[in-house]
Chain A
Amino acid sequence: MKGDTLNASVEIQEADVQEAGFAAVRPLLEIKDLAITFATSNGDVQAVRNAHLTIMPGETVAIVGESGSGKSTTALAAIGLLPGNGRVSAGQILFDGEDIANAGEKRMIELRGNSIGMVPQDPMSNLNPVWKIGEQVRETLKANGLPSGQDDVATVLSQAGLPDAARRAKQYPHEFSGGMRQRALIAIGLSCQPRLLIADEPTSALDVTVQRQILDHLDKMTTELGTAVLLITHDLGLAAERADKVVVMYRGQVVESGPSLELLQNPQHPYTQRLVASAPSLASRRIQVAKELGVESDELLAPGDATAAGPAVAEDVLQIQNLSKVFKLRSGFGKSTDFSAVDDVSFSVKRGTTTAIVGESGSGKSTVAQMVLNLLTPTSGKIVFDGVDTSTLNSKEIFAFRRRVQPIFQDPYGSLDPMYNIFRTIEEPLRTHKIGDKASREKKVRELLDQVSLPQSTMQRYPNELSGGQRQRVAIARALALDPEVIICDEAVSALDVLVQAQVLNLLAELQSRLGLTYLFITHDLAVVRQIADHVCVMEKGKLVETGSTDDVFDAPQQEYTKALLNAIPGARLMLPPEVA
């Protein structure tokens, strides 16, 4: 759906504007001067202003922006599903020439499903947990007056790439993996062959390789059916790779739009420029380019600098030797089967460096992290921290060990106690370890907030009053409170928007060079690895398949699996001219 179509549609559109009377092809969706307002207890808040975009039949257009930019709100308005307190306050949404901005519910129900379909963002929460998958497909067909027998349901599901669809249709969502649920949702979205499909971050909750498969399949299906796609994403690389045109939104406004490659190579608006600069999928290429050109990039090369500046022969602060973890899975009636989550993994981490463990979900990377943190007991193998086998520690020594090894977890919403204010959150580890008195602890908390660049007034606030990035800074401050030597970051930046992610990564890199920290970085995102890690361990199904310096692994991956992972980074296949960097 790229290439030829791209040029064709642009030309047609221009022709359309010039010779309106002729109107050979009119836009399928045209959003003009759209404004969306939310009624809140503090009065009306304008979420979207003067938004405009055009989608021709069969064309793919992506809206890119960070969370809160209004991209999802704009898309939801197009299918008439704004939340209860939101409304279109100005402008037009023309679907095939008909203004549906303020259409009645009855008209919208007619359009939904068979004219405008939707593939939502989170496959975990978008299927009703109490109904079988088949039933949820069937009701869609039935509501749109299509045949809805068992065979029809199975056909729809198998077209979306779900193997063994007839049997799978009888299962419940919780029996499906994330990728399979997303396929089921794509099946539902496309089941009535709509002319426009709204895909709202359709793969952001999935592993990169699964993401690629799903997007490829979505591409194939929409091309075959001639469906126009409105793709919502925060990932500029992904947008550029998948869409003919890209619309960039920032704080409720469209700041820039145009053909994908053009926009990527020659961003005009400062926000787009920042987005291009920090898009993780592009950064992986960017560092490389920067290095080749001999360009100094202080921010992004900081971790590397730290190693170079460190002691010539750094000691191994952490040694993982033949580590294995076997879980017993209950399989009914007292029987159990063994499941090897981690299988004979060995690697070591040098002091003051960053080692990343990369893998898809289920690869055992988080299990390794939990064993290193001494939260799980290994089935076999050793973890040697600073020369001592951690399994030999008694409870008092474990307490001391915890002071030296601290975690930062993925979800900044879940890892902070909502009932604790920020001061109490950061002070808690100090109090637990009986460090200092009240005054010195307060001083320490203030210092920590300074270190993570949060204002000291943050102390009196509560987690729900902070943004995701601010919360993750608080989590970092809490991890730093005990002056640890090693920090285990378990998907520490995965939940953050690209720009915020870049800020947090820079902060981590800066803290590392300043405090000589050692990071063990667990992530599924190779683009992030490229920015922060010195060494990479690639895990697949519990086994360590490849390990080496970041440069070696990225430039010359040895294993097929690593190559597949690298290839799956959105935008990796796009060749960017050096001047973009």
Chain B
Amino acid sequence: MTTYILKRFLQLIPVFLGATLLVYFLVFSLPGDPIVALFGDKPVNEAVASQLRAQYHLDQPFWVQYLLYLKSIFTFDLGQDFSGRPIAAVLGEVFPVTARLAIMALIFEAFFGILFGLIAGLRKGKLFDATVLVASLIVIGIPIFVLGFLLQYFIGVQLGWAKPTVSSAATVQDLILPAIVLGLGSFAYVLRLTRTSVLENMSADYVRTASAKGLSRFKVVRVHILRNSLIPVITFLGADLGALMGGAIVTEGIFNIPGVGNRLYRAVLSGEGPTVVSIVTVLVLIYCLSNLLVDLLYAWLDPRIRYDS
């Protein structure tokens, strides 16, 4: 097992290098000169511009820029963004906010998705099942920005049940509504996945054998149906954590949350190569680590899967 985890960590190295190189190249090939854009409507002062270019190494060829960037990572000095703040500090500021949001969304979608999916599966064809199936289809069908604005308006503004916007501190309370909006799409998916998985397991031979042993219905469901049904769901949830972190851009925009998505969006618009690459690289690493976590969880849930050899 240790060997396996070590191997997986070693695999992160090429993923890291590949992701940074690719993202750096994409930012580099963006049209327009970011330094000129900094001047806005004012006339460009060539002396200042070339000084800035030298500071951000923008006068160097692509490979030199990329290698300098790598060097800055390994010396733990990510440099500064265009407003002069250290990028490391920016990361330290935005990631906790988005992580909080994503984890809240994950808890929401996992808890309610599995609960509703289980009930729907056990009562296949009944009213509850039909209702949640239709509802989940609607949720999946409507784009997140529409859902976000609707919930913000009705629940936040009209009913006043939750705050429609988020303070700069982005507390847990502030983030309840945004987390529901962010997790809603995946919630519908988890629900349907759990339902299908439960239905499949309900007709499994070992479930019938469990009943034949004289176990109560509750025991059969909890011990034999639920645990086996969770295996595919857990896989999805783990991979979804990374997707939620990266996919929070729209939600963060609607609720004005000072998180990763907002900052990344601005950095892309202003062509701040190092900032974009730093944020994306952290996202890639989170994605890889959450996938590793899924694989380990998978082995724990399903003893047939072993990574020893």
Contact A140 B214 (CB under 8 A): yes
The segment from B7-15, B151-159, B200-208 that touches chain A is: B200-208
Q: Is A131 an interface residue (CB 8 A)?
A: yes
Complex formed: what's the CA distance from A172 to B305 in Å?
Answer: 11
Question: Contacting chain A: which of B44-52, B184-192, B216-224?
Answer: B216-224
| Residues 286-309 of chain B, each 1 if its beta carbon lies under 8 Å from chain A, else 0 | 000000000000000111100011
Cβ contacts under 8 Å, B203 to chain A: 83
**Chain B min CB distance to A242 (Å):** 21
Size range of the interface on B? 20 to 34
Query: With the chains together, A127 CA to B303 CA distance in Å?
Result: 13
| A140 and B213 in contact, given A130-B227, A131-B223 (Cβ under 8 angstroms) | yes
B209 touching A130, Cβ below 8 Å: no
B212 at the interface (CB under 8 A from A): yes
B209 contacts A129, C-beta separation under 8 Å? no
Instruction: Please tell me if the beta carbons of A126 and B303 are within 8 angstroms of each other in the complex.
Output: no
Asked if A114 is at the interface of the complex by the 8 Å CB criterion, the answer is: yes
Return the contact of A127 from the options B206, B219, B309 (Cβ within 8 A): B206
Flag if B214 contacts A143 (CB, 8 Å).
Answer: yes
CA A332 – CA B308 in complex, angstroms?
6
A113 x B214 contact (CB < 8 A): yes
**Chain A residues closer than 8 Å to B309, beta-carbon distance:** 330-333
Instruction: Give a binary string over A170-191; 1 marks a CB under 8 Å from any B CB, 0 the rest.
Output: 0010100000000001001100
Distance between Cα atoms of A105 and B220 in the complex (Å): 13
Say whether, besides A120-B205, A126-B206, A174 and B303 are in contact (CB < 8 Å).
Answer: yes
Q: Which of B224, B301, B308 contacts A128 (CB 8 A)?
A: B224
> Contacts of A118 on B, CB cut-off 8 Å?
209, 212
Asked if B196 is at the interface (CB within 8 A of a chain A CB), the reply is no
Residues of B within 8 A of A81 (CB): 208, 211-212
Q: Is B30 an interface residue (CB 8 A)?
A: no
CA distance A21 to B303 in the complex (A): 57
- A139 contacts the other chain (CB 8 A): yes
Interface status of B215 (Cβ within 8 A of chain A): yes
A126 and B208 CA atoms in complex are apart in Å by 8
Which listed residue, B215, B223, B303, touches A129 by the CB 8 Å rule? B303
Q: State which of B205, B212, B216 has its C-beta within 8 Å of the C-beta of A79.
A: B212
A144 CB-CB contact with B under 8 Å: yes
Across the interface, do B213 and A120 meet the contact criterion of CB distance under 8 Å?
no
Q: Verify if B267 is at the interface (C-beta below 8 Å from A).
A: no
- A113→B215 CA distance, assembly (Å): 8
Distance to closest chain A CB from B209 (angstroms): 5
* A139 CA / B212 CA spacing, docked (Å): 12
A564 and B211 alpha carbons, distance in the complex (Å): 37
A42 close to chain B: CB less than 8 A: no
In the bound complex, do residue B209 and residue A139 qualify as a contact, i.e. CB atoms below 8 Å apart? no
Once the chains bind, are B215 and A139 in contact (CB under 8 Å)? yes
A192 to B309, CA, bound (A): 40
Tell me the residues in window 167-200 of chain B with beta carbons closer than 8 Å to chain A beta carbons: none
- Select from chain B the residue with minimum beta-carbon distance to A144: B214
Expressed in whole angstroms, the Cα–Cα distance for A494 and B227 within the complex equals 34
A172 to B306, CA, bound (A): 12
A143 touches B215 (CB 8 A): yes
* B234 CB to nearest A CB, Å: 12
Residues in chain B near residue A333, CB distance under 8 A: 3, 309
A139 contacts B304, C-beta separation under 8 Å: no
B139 interface residue per 8 A CB criterion: no
Question: Across the interface, do B212 and A172 meet the contact criterion of CB distance under 8 Å?
Answer: no
B224 to chain A: which residues have CB within 8 Å?
128
B228 beta carbon closer than 8 Å to chain A: yes
Q: CA of A129 to CA of B214 in the docked complex: distance in angstroms? A: 19
Report whether A129 and B216 are in contact in the complex, using a CB–CB cutoff of 8 Å: no
The answer to whether the Cβ of A166 comes within 8 Å of any Cβ in the partner chain is no
CA distance A128 to B202 in the complex (A): 12
In the assembly, what is the distance between CA of A192 and CA of B50, in Å?
A: 87
Q: A139-B219, A174-B304 are in contact. Are A126 and B209 (CB under 8 A)?
A: yes
Within 8 Å of chain A (Cβ to Cβ): is B88?
no
Q: Are B219 and A143 in contact (CB under 8 A)?
A: yes
Chain A residue at smallest Cβ distance from B203: A83
Pick from A109, A121, A128, A331: contact of B216, CB below 8 A. A109
- The answer to whether A125 touches B303, judged by C-beta atoms less than 8 angstroms apart, is no
A112 / chain B contacts, CB cutoff of 8 Å: 211-214
CB of A127 within 8 A of CB of B212, answer no
* A378 interface residue (CB < 8 Å to B): no
Task: Tell me the smallest distance from the CB of A126 to a CB of chain B, in Å.
Answer: 5
* B70 at interface, CB cutoff 8 A: no
In angstroms, Cα B224 to Cα A445, docked, is 47
Given known contacts A105-B217, A139-B223, A333-B3, A130 and B302 CB-to-CB distance under 8 angstroms: yes
Tell me if A463 counts as interface (CB < 8 A to partner B): no
* Closest chain B residue, CB of each to CB of A174: B304
Docked-complex contact A113 and B212, CB < 8 angstroms: yes
Please name all residues of chain A whose beta carbon is closer than 8 Å to the beta carbon of B254 when the two chains form the complex: none
Chain B residue at minimal CB-CB distance from A112? B214
B107 located at the interface, meaning its Cβ lies under 8 Å from any Cβ of chain A in the complex: no
| Least Cβ–Cβ distance between B199 and chain A, in angstroms | 11
Q: How close is A144's CB to chain B, nearest CB, in angstroms?
A: 5
Determine whether B162 belongs to the interface, using a CB cutoff of 8 Å to chain A: no
**Across the interface, which residues of B come within 8 angstroms of A468, CB to CB?**
none
| Shortest distance between the CB of A135 and any CB in chain B (Å) | 9
A to B CB contacts below 8 Å, 21 in the list: A81-B208, A81-B212, A105-B217, A109-B214, A109-B216, A111-B214, A112-B214, A113-B214, A117-B212, A118-B212, A120-B212, A128-B206, A128-B224, A129-B303, A130-B231, A130-B303, A131-B223, A143-B215, A174-B304, A188-B213, A330-B309
Interface on B for A, CB 8 Å cutoff? 3, 203-206, 208-217, 219, 223-224, 227-228, 231, 301-304, 308-309
Q: What 10 pairs between A and B have smallest CB-CB spacing? A: A113-B214, A112-B214, A118-B212, A125-B205, A140-B213, A128-B206, A172-B303, A126-B205, A330-B309, A126-B209
Q: Given A113-B215, A331-B309, A332-B309, 16 other A-B contacts at CB below 8 A?
A: A81-B212, A83-B203, A112-B211, A112-B214, A113-B212, A114-B214, A118-B209, A122-B205, A126-B209, A128-B206, A129-B228, A129-B302, A132-B303, A139-B210, A140-B214, A333-B309
